[in-house]
Chains A and B, each alone.
Chain A
Amino acid sequence: MNSLPHQSDPARAWAPYEPSARDPWDLARVAHLHRRAGFAADWSTLVRDREAGPKAAVDRLLDGESHARDGQTASDFDALLAAMGSRLAPGANASVIQGIWLYRMVLTPHPLRERMTLFWHDHFATSLNKVGNAALMQRQNDLLRSQAIGDFKAMLAAIGKDPAMLIWLDSTSNKKAKPNENYAREVMELFALGRGRYSEKDIQEAARAFTGWFVIRDRWSEIPSQHDDGPKTVLGKTGRFRGEDIPAILLEQEACAEFLCEKLFRLFVSEVDPAPPALVKALAKRFRESGYAIRVPVETILRSNLFHDASVRRRRVKSPVEYAVGTVRALEATKPTVSAPALADACSRMGQGLYTPPSVAGWDGGPSWINTTAMLHRTNFILALLGKDDEALGGRIDPAALAERHGVAPLEFYRDLLVQDALAPAALPTKTDARELAVLVAASPEYQLA
């Protein structure tokens, strides 16, 4: 295993990648970009972005495409999904709300925004199992999407008043006489700073600032008489703080940007290599100086020498949602697409139920996605998707016709589309049909990695 390049040279690591004879802008690089920054691309997108060059390819990811995969304009598509979300009954079951999001991921004109929304869902992990209200979960999801590559300050402020979050953390009644420390703790430990970067006293004092905050009839409300307006000292600052003052205090900590940039490193660069501190610090500095514009570190990473270095490819395990959505998108099962609740159930079987993360710390990710049951379900998902027997998932894809439509022989098509140069040629039989080739490539160990 090679160690990461440019570990102690942040300027070089984060400088924009320029194609060269040694490091050409080839299919492997285009596909890597789409695997990490979205949910894999179809053949036409890969070819288009290979022609357009890295700058245009990253621009499109940051700004979104003009049209969704179902042919609607981006704004019509967003309006449709907003309507689906707003009509959700509070008692809707998990596969319905999961299905709405998966449908959006499959067809979205803005894959990076969805990928980042999923990242924030994992970061601010909240579970429907406890919240018990799908409409509130959808509202939280809309909040995370609205700032997914936007303003972290605004997101952190809003999540503290998000009813689903407060129900999840048992913080629906913050009384003066009995401050609830749960939100104060999690916002420091899991959302903004990371363990060991605050004291228990900081938590107790911040909890006093949050007194007076309630959730009443599924809405955040303030009861001034329940607010403790005495002076508090949080992370070295003293004042008559209110709940609204706490995010700014957290954001002033150097640890905050570093904590988030380390997570972004895990998301985009590698889950299995520790993030080199020099690289994280340099990225965090840009993030802080931007006033916590999430786009800044994301764009820096996606354009960087480090990101496009061949050695960081496949240093992540695809999560079940990345695996399922990416495969549906790459194989163009989009018109009509698969049954969204069935896709949701398949993801749950593989170990990732959207809106039902195992704890407030989110999913562990990386190798923990892998166990025998999960691997069986991954292969079974591919067999169902590429077969005819499963009415909810199968029968949408004709593997021979798909390769032919793009004018590429099936063996080259499925290898280049899904795994590029990663799969040893000997692993695939030369004499077999297109469906079996597609199954074998999509079930391969190489394809489980991002």
Chain B
Amino acid sequence: MHRRHFMKSALGASTLVSMGASTIPAFLSSSARAAASSAENDRILVVVQLLGGNDGINTVVPHGIDGYAKGRRALRINKNQIHAITDEIGLHPSMGAMSKLVEDGRLAIVQGVGYPNPDRSHFRSMEIWESARTDPNAIDTGWLGRALDARPFKAGADLPGLHIGTRSRPIALGSKKTEIPSLTTLEQYRLQLTGSDVDKRKEREALERMIRTDRPDTDPLLGFIRRSTLAAYDSSKRLEQVASKDSKASYPDFGLAKRLELIAQIIKAGFGTRIFYTSLDGFDTHANQLATHAALLTELSDSIGAFEKDLGAAGQGGRVSLLVFSEFGRRVAENASQGTDHGAAAPLFVVGPVAKAGLIGEHPGFENLDDGDLRHHTDFRRVYAALLDRWLEIPSAPIVGEGFAPLDLFKSARV
């Protein structure tokens, strides 16, 4: 009996009648295989949301494009410190690790991303990005929540999505069917045994023995809970093994790095979770932006670099993609406080086995501004459509709406 088949039928009581006690040992041996094989088949999306509105202009710096130097005086980034991508455009000096990802063919930078009639309120613009809907009354679910709903979560299995962080669950993960939990540490994903190592081992063994003990198991509901509980204890053990083996993976001492490390541990432990969501706060740089922004981009770039290195070493790079976005970019013209105010279009990042690394799409240019802001030419929902259709292989139209052709970010849909 394959675990997945059981899970599919778990909610239909009538199909459970045939499940007698004799199927349980078979399940136990197959669950480990199911967990192992899922590691090769299931693609994962990690989303990093930059909160506050990242200054895209000083992240993917168009130093050679007319208008940059005019808009940015105090905040201008020196051309020879930039990690060049083309003659005109390069990454911020703090982004060495991400610049290496471009060289390695792992980072696509989509330029000029936004949506029509840009809203410059953090709150509202986050709602639009996270819900992928422009109707303010349609924010009860998020684009990823709807993606999870489209691929029904099998009761008893690993949760399909996780939010990592202390912020309350983002709208993006709002689902009609599954409440996506928020985790801050691995501890919350582990059996909290207490006492000495010997006590812990004994207690775990006693729990496992209690669950495994043969029962006159004529009740399929009970059998289902037994399996789920064993799978839970098993996943806890997998995580502990990964965590103890894992001392080699080196992450910098940043909050984002710790969150990505936690995600990597869960991925490497072979969990069925396919969507991870986390964020990095602090991008609302209205004043004295230069040093703050450089520090944030160092955290972003070094954390993602370590995450990529870790997953690559574990042979997981082929099944993990990562999206980095912010609710809006910032105005072209800096303000009088050596900062920048809320803007509109901006670049975003997709890391993973991308079809083409480097810049995707033209820079929107400084000629034809929208009330002082860059104009978008690529709707963010086309990026979502690519991640849904071509990466997660979940039809995008019901989720982001009709008319958003997927960008060519990935080689092709794997069918």
Residues of chain A touching chain B, judged by Cβ–Cβ distance below 8 Å, are: 1, 129-130, 170, 272-274, 314-315, 317, 348-349, 351, 353, 358-359, 361, 364, 366-368, 370-373, 375-377, 379-380, 383-384, 387-389, 424, 426-429, 432, 436, 439-440, 443-446, 448-449
Contact pattern, B 222-255, Cβ under 8 Å of A = 1, otherwise 0: 1011101101110110000000000000000000
Task: For chain B, residues 158 to 210, give those with C-beta under 8 angstroms from any C-beta of chain A.
Answer: 158-159, 168, 175-179, 181, 188-194, 203, 206-207, 209-210
For the complex, is B65 an interface residue (Cβ under 8 Å from A)? no
Contact B215 A424, beta carbon cutoff 8 Å: yes
- Among B17, B176, B221, the most chain A Cβ lie within 10 Å of the Cβ of B221
What are 25 of the A-B contact pairs (CB < 8 Å)? A1-B218, A130-B140, A170-B137, A314-B219, A314-B221, A349-B181, A358-B175, A359-B176, A361-B176, A367-B11, A367-B221, A367-B224, A371-B153, A373-B158, A373-B189, A375-B228, A379-B207, A379-B229, A379-B232, A383-B194, A424-B214, A427-B211, A427-B213, A427-B215, A429-B206
Q: How far is the CB of B140 from chain A (nearest CB, A)?
A: 7
A residues less than 8 Å from B189 (CB atoms)? 373, 376
State the CA gap A387–B229 with chains docked (Å).
20
Query: Which A residues are in CB contact (< 8 Å) with B226?
Result: 445
Q: Given A1-B16, A273-B13, A436–B203 Cβ distance below 8 Å?
A: yes
By beta carbon, the residue of chain B nearest A447 is B225
Cβ-defined contact, A375 with B229, below 8 A: yes
Q: A367-B224, A429-B209, A445-B211 are in contact. List 7 more A-B contacts (CB 8 A).
A: A272-B13, A349-B181, A358-B177, A376-B233, A379-B191, A380-B191, A388-B194
Is B157 part of the binding interface, using a Cβ–Cβ cutoff of 8 Å? yes
Greatest chain A CB density within 10 A among B16, B216, B219, B236 is at: B219
Within 8 Å of chain A (Cβ to Cβ): is B10? yes
Asked whether A443 lies within 8 Å of B207 as measured between CB atoms, the reply is yes
Give the residues in chain B near A274, CB-CB below 8 Å.
13
- Minimum CB–CB distance for A243 against chain B, Å: 21
B156 interface hit (Cβ, 8 Å): yes
Assess whether B364 is interfacial by the CB under 8 Å rule. no
- Please tell me if the beta carbons of A368 and B11 are within 8 angstroms of each other in the complex: yes
Please state if B179 and A370 are interface contacts (CB–CB under 8 Å).
Answer: no
Distance in Å: Cβ of A356 to nearest Cβ of chain B: 8
Q: Which residues of B contact A370 (CB under 8 A)?
A: 155-156, 224-225, 228
User: Are A383 and B191 neighbours in the complex by a CB distance under 8 Å?
Assistant: yes
Contact (Cβ within 8 A) B220 A372? no
A383 touches B193 (CB 8 A): yes
B interface, over-half SS: loop
Contacts of B221 in A (CB 8 A): 272, 314-315, 317, 367, 449
For A361, the chain B residues whose CB sits under 8 A away are 176
Give the residues in chain B near A377, CB-CB below 8 Å.
188
Is the pair A371, B159 in contact by a Cβ cutoff of 8 Å?
A: yes
- Specify which of B10, B16, B156, B158 lies most central, judged by the most chain A CB atoms within 10 Å of its CB: B156
Partner of A439, one of B203, B222, B231: B203
Give the top 6 A-B pairs by smallest Cβ distance, nearest first: A375-B232, A427-B213, A372-B232, A445-B225, A367-B155, A424-B215
User: What residue in chain B is nearest A359 (Cβ atoms)?
Assistant: B176
Partner of A426, one of B156, B158, B213, B219: B213
Question: Judging by beta carbons under 8 Å apart, are B17 and A376 in contact?
Answer: no
How long is the Cα–Cα vector from A427 to B175 in the complex, in angstroms?
A: 38
If A358-B176, A373-B158, A443-B207 touch, does A448 touch B225 (CB 8 Å cutoff)? Answer: yes
Return the contact of A366 from the options B11, B191, B232 (Cβ within 8 A). B11
Q: How far is the CA of A448 from the CA of B206 in the complex (A)?
A: 18
Closest approach, in angstroms, between the C-beta of A411 and any C-beta of chain B? 13
Among A366, A370, A388: residue with most chain B CB under 10 A: A370
Contacts of B215 in A (CB 8 A): 424, 427
**Binary flags per residue of B110-138, CB closer than 8 Å to A gives 1, else 0:** 00000000000000000000000000010
Note all chain A residues with C-beta closer than 8 A to B216.
Answer: 424
Given contacts A370-B228, A424-B215, contact A376 B222 (CB under 8 A): no
B323-374, CB < 8 A from A: none
Q: Which residue of chain A has its CB nearest to the CB of B155?
A: A367
Cβ contact within 8 Å between B17 and A1: yes
Residue numbers in B under 8 Å from A376 (CB-CB): 189-191, 232-233, 235-236
Q: Which residue on B lies nearest to A361, using beta carbons? A: B176
Q: Are B157 and A371 neighbours in the complex by a CB distance under 8 Å? A: yes
**Bound state CA distance, A443 and B213, in angstroms?**
14
> Do A1 and B158 touch across chains, with their CB atoms under 8 A apart?
no
CB-CB < 8 A to A372: which residues of B? 156-159, 228, 231-232, 235
Query: Does A449 lie within 8 Å of B191, measured CB to CB?
Result: no
Q: When chains A and B are docked, how far (Å) is the Cα of A375 from the Cα of B207?
A: 13
Q: Determine how close the nearest CB of chain B comes to the CB of A235; give it in whole angstroms.
A: 27
Residue from the list A314, A366, A440 in contact with B207, Cβ < 8 A: A440
B13 partner residues in chain A, CB cutoff 8 A: 1, 272-274
Q: Once the chains are docked, how many angstroms separate the CA of A383 from the CA of B149?
A: 33
Partner of A384, one of B192, B206, B210, B219: B192
The residue in chain B whose Cβ has the minimal distance to the Cβ of A366 is: B11
Q: How far is the CB of A169 from chain B (nearest CB, A)?
A: 11
Given contacts A1-B16, A376-B191, A389-B194, contact A351 B179 (CB under 8 A): yes
Q: A376-B189, A376-B190, A445-B229 are in contact. Are A436 and B211 (CB under 8 A)?
A: no
A448, B232: Cα distance in complex, Å:
14
Q: Are B16 and A358 in contact (CB under 8 A)?
A: no
Complex CA distance for A379 and B230, rounded to whole angstroms: 11
**Closest partner residue, chain A, to B183 (CB atom):** A373
- Residues in chain A near residue B176, CB distance under 8 A: 358-359, 361
CB distance from A425 to the nearest CB of B (A): 9
Nearest chain A residue, comparing its CB with the CB of B236:
A376
- A358–B225 contact, CB under 8 A? no
* Structural contact, A364 and B229, CB atoms closer than 8 A: no
With A372-B158, A373-B189, A432-B206 known to touch, is A446 a contact of B222 (CB < 8 Å)? yes
| Residue of B156, B168, B191 touching A371 (CB-CB under 8 A) | B156
Q: From A427, which residue of chain B is reached at the shortest CB distance?
A: B213
Tell me the nearest residue of chain A to B16, going by C-beta: A1
Are A449 and B222 within 8 A (Cβ)?
yes
Measured between C-beta atoms, what is the minimum distance from A438 to chain B in Å?
A: 12
Q: How far is the CB of A209 from chain B (nearest CB, A)?
A: 22
B17, B137, B207, B233 pick with most chain A CB within 10 angstroms: B207
Q: Give CA–CA (A389, B194) in the complex, Å.
A: 8
Hey, which chain A residues are within 8 Å of B228, CB to CB?
Answer: 370-372, 375
List of A residues within 8 angstroms of B178 by Cβ: 358
Query: Considering the chains assembled together, what is the distance between the CA atoms of A24 and B278 in angstroms?
Result: 56
| Interfacial chain A residues near B155, Cβ < 8 Å | 367-368, 370-371
Chain A residue nearest to B157 (CB atoms) is A371
Question: Given the complex, which residues of A lie within 8 Å of B207, measured CB to CB?
Answer: 379, 439-440, 443
In the assembled complex, the Cα of A375 lies from the Cα of B220 at a distance in Å of 17
Find out whether the CB atom of A427 lies under 8 angstroms from the CB atom of B159.
no
Minimum CB–CB distance from A167 to chain B (whole Å) comes to 13
Interface pair B232/A373, CB less than 8 Å apart = yes
A370 to B175: give the CA distance in the assembly, Å: 17
For the complex, give the distance between the alpha carbons of A259 and B137 in Å: 29
Which residues in B have their C-beta under 8 angstroms from that of A427? 209-211, 213, 215
